[in-house]
């Protein structure tokens, strides 16, 4: 994850996030990522940057979930710019 993404949340926000995530239980398997969207943009300071969003199926001992991964790549550097867990258990 990018440094900006890691430093963007307070310790309290991380604690809340991890507490909610623990509702999913134990991870049992990870499925094959499916490309949802992508785009390439050109800019003067960074050159060409490609952005992609993947949906990855997950199986926990409590049931199925997905993680949506946002990835950016430029000049041989790849970073996650977003990670979003999708599960009915997380909204209860």
**Mean pLDDT (whole number) for 36-40:** 94
Q: Give the 3-state secondary structure of residue 17.
A: helix
Distance CA 8, CA 2 (A): 10
Q: Give the 3-state secondary structure of residue 63.
A: strand
Domain limits for position 54: 3-91
Domain count for the chain, please give it: 1
- Give me the residues paired with residue 77 across strands: 74
Distance CA 70, CA 79 (A): 8
Q: What is the CA radius of gyration of the chain?
A: 15
Confidence of residue 8 (pLDDT cuts 50, 70, 90): confident
Does the global pTM surpass 0.95? no
pLDDT tens digits for 44-73?
776 898 999 999 999 999 989 899 999 999
Q: Percentage of residues in the chain with pLDDT exceeding 90?
A: 33
Instruction: Report whether pLDDT(1) > 60.
Output: no
CATH for 24: 3.10.450
């Amino acid at each position: 994850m990018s440094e900006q993404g890691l430093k963007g949340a307070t310790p309290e926000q991380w604690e809340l996030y991890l507490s909610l995530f623990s509702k999913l239980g134990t991870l049992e398997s990870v499925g094959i990522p499916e490309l949802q969207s992508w785009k390439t943009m050109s800019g003067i300071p960074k050159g060409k940057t490609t952005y992609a969003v993947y949906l990855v199926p997950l199986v926990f001992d409590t049931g199925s979930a997905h993680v949506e991964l946002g990835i950016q790549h430029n000049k041989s550097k790849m970073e996650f710019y977003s990670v979003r867990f999708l599960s009915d258990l997380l909204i209860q």
